[in-house]
Amino acid sequence: MSLTVVVLSVVGVLVAAATHCAVLFLNITPPNSLSLQHAAAIEKYTQPEFTQSWKFFAPDPTTANIHVQARAKVMKSNGVSSVTEWVDLTAMDEEWIRHHPFPSQAQQNQLRSAWQNFVSSQDSEGHPVGLYGEMMQQYVLRIAAHSFGPYVIGGAVQSIQLRSASTPIAAPPWSNEHIDTESGYLTEPWWTVKAEDFQ
């Protein structure tokens, strides 16, 4: 191997490493003119492999109970379309966990984490941002599809709608703080279900 090839290889590796470090630095620093100017490119490079989460170092206590709910639109054999009642997927997971001495990590965190990541990957109008947003939408859809199965209430599932019910946690008895504990809802549009979503 010639000296030129070795030098070019070393230079290439150094440039790639420097670029990688610079992009990650811009990703974790407070917003500035450079990071805002290249926000789309930075997010495309860093998501989802280099997602930043500081909860381990600065925990953010939960202030609301969030339950993910879903309903399905089905087509029956006689051609009549029907819609199920809202099903509380979070409550189903909690019930399963409550009666198992060694619940799986997926049962405890899969739906909650998927919903949090899905919501955080939306823009201000509720549309998924980039490939990561589309992947998270497909992920929560598949979790819901697995909960329903391909057939329910005598018909084939055609589409699924999800929503989250967020209920603020009441203040403790010793506090004078008043907290409105009425649930608020974030409702997504109907999403078409494909055969592979049940696999």
The 10s digit of each residue's pLDDT in 162-193 is 999 998 888 888 888 888 888 889 999 999 99
Work out the pLDDT band at 58, boundaries 50, 70, 90: low
Query: Which amino acid does the sequence have at 7?
Result: V
Work out the pLDDT band at 136, boundaries 50, 70, 90: very high
Closest C-alpha among 93, 94, 115, 90 to residue 187: 115
Work out the pLDDT band at 158, boundaries 50, 70, 90: very high
Percentage of the chain surpassing pLDDT 70? 92
Structural contact between residues 145 and 160, judged by C-beta atoms closer than 8 angstroms: yes
Q: Mean pLDDT over all residues of the chain?
A: 86
Residues 63-89: what's their mean pLDDT?
A: 91
How far is residue 120's CA from residue 136's CA, in Å, rounded to a whole number? 10
Structural contact between residues 41 and 19, judged by C-beta atoms closer than 8 angstroms: no
The 10s digit of each residue's pLDDT in 35-56 is 888 888 888 887 766 666 655 5
Residues 6+ away with beta carbon under 8 Å from 137: 118, 128, 191
Residues 96-125: what's their mean pLDDT?
A: 83
Structural contact between residues 148 and 69, judged by C-beta atoms closer than 8 angstroms: no
Structural Rg of the chain based on CA atoms: 23
pLDDT at residue 13 greater than cutoff 90: yes
How far is residue 142's CA from residue 199's CA, in Å, rounded to a whole number? 9
End-to-end CA distance of the chain: 50
Q: What does the chain come to in residues?
A: 199
pTM summary value:
0.66
Residues 6+ away with beta carbon under 8 Å from 156: 74, 75, 150
| Structure-token match 């899969």, residue found | 110
DSSP class of residue 121? Answer: T
CA 160 to chain centre: 16
